[in-house]
Amino acid sequence: MHIILFGPPGVGKGTQAKILSERFHIPHISTGDMLREEIRLETDLGKKAKVLMDAGNLVPDDIMIGMIRGVLTSQRCVNGIILDGFPRTVEQATALEGMMKELHITVKRVLSLEVTEEHIMERLLKRSETEHRADDTAETILKRIAIYKKSTAPVKDYFISRGMLSAINGEGPVAEVSQRMLDALQ
């Protein structure tokens, strides 16, 4: 089963992906986690990504597309994947669709978590306190939301036009949101 989790930063994609991963026994692939690991390892990609991410900017499409191709062709994803944080642009969505066709992979569903901007700000500032993430300052959060609206929100229309997207209310207790997602996958 191949699932894409979609939505702005801070809507709970990572939390829900872990739950779905355990439920369906398929890996959760977070592009944000992949990039943070590159940063931790101080690779060339990590150094470039750190500058961009700390400023609240997106990592270029060609880098992200290459990373995802590597994941999709890996042995660990042979039974499915929960993709979190990709695609973030229409160009990435188009490239992903082409890769999926080439690899004979069908996406079961795109689940779009929907929450208010106020809720996003509250969640990310709280995460900043607990995880000490440099990319979770109020200024950077506002910039990331603006970038999401400009670059990533159009991806939602892309998936809607293909009949693949289910909008999920992402507010409320984690278990309730999880149930809404499971219902959409039925």
Count, residues in the chain: 186
Active site residue 133: yes
Point out the catalytic residue in the list 18, 36, 48, 127.
127
**What pLDDT is attached to residue 110?**
97
Q: Which domain holds residue 101?
A: 2-171
Q: Residue 183 falls within a domain, yes or no?
A: no
Q: Residue 178 falls within a domain, yes or no?
A: no
Which of 63, 39, 160 is CA-nearest to residue 111? 160
Active site residue 13: yes
Q: Residue 31 falls within a domain, yes or no?
A: yes
When pLDDT is cut at 50, 70 and 90, the band that residue 178 belongs to is very high
63-121: pLDDT as tens digits:
888 888 888 888 888 899 999 988 988 999 999 999 999 999 999 999 999 999 999 99
115-172: pLDDT as tens digits:
999 999 998 888 888 887 777 788 888 988 998 899 889 999 999 999 999 999 999 9
Point out the catalytic residue in the list 48, 108, 133, 143.
133
**What pLDDT is attached to residue 160?**
96
What's the CATH number where 152 sits?
Answer: 3.40.50.300
Non-local (6+) Cβ contacts of 59 within 8 A are 35, 48, 49, 52, 53
Asked if residues 9 and 168 have their Cβ atoms less than 8 Å apart, the reply is no
Q: Residue 80 falls within a domain, yes or no?
A: yes
Q: Residue 50 falls within a domain, yes or no?
A: yes
Q: Which of 12-21, 25-34, 57-66 has the highest mean pLDDT?
A: 12-21
Expressed in percent and rounded to 5, the helix, strand and coil fractions of the chain are 60, 15, 25
Point out the catalytic residue in the list 13, 109, 123, 180.
13
Point out the catalytic residue in the list 50, 109, 123, 144.
144
Q: What is the dihedral of CA 59, 60, 62, 68, to 10 degrees?
A: 30
Active site residue 23: no
Which of 1, 26, 31 is CA-nearest to residue 14? 31
Instruction: Retrieve residue 87's tokens.
Output: 């695609």
Non-local (6+) Cβ contacts of 14 within 8 A are 28, 30, 32, 33, 84
Average pLDDT over residues 52-63: 80
Nearest-angstrom CA–CA distance, 49 and 90: 20
Q: Higher model confidence: residue 21 or residue 40?
A: 21
Residue 20 exposure: Cα atoms within 13 Å on the Cβ side:
30
Domain count for the chain, please give it.
Answer: 1
Amino acid at 26: I
**What pLDDT is attached to residue 69?**
85
Asked if residues 64 and 49 have their Cβ atoms less than 8 Å apart, the reply is no
Q: Residue 123 falls within a domain, yes or no?
A: yes
Point out the catalytic residue in the list 50, 88, 109, 180.
88
Active site residue 109: no
**What pLDDT is attached to residue 63?**
81
**What is the value of pTM for the model shown?**
0.84
Can you tell me whether residue 80 is helix, strand or coil? coil
Nearest-angstrom CA–CA distance, 59 and 139: 18
Out of 10-19, 49-58, 107-116, 120-129, pick the least confident.
Answer: 49-58
Which of the 8 DSSP states describes residue 117? H
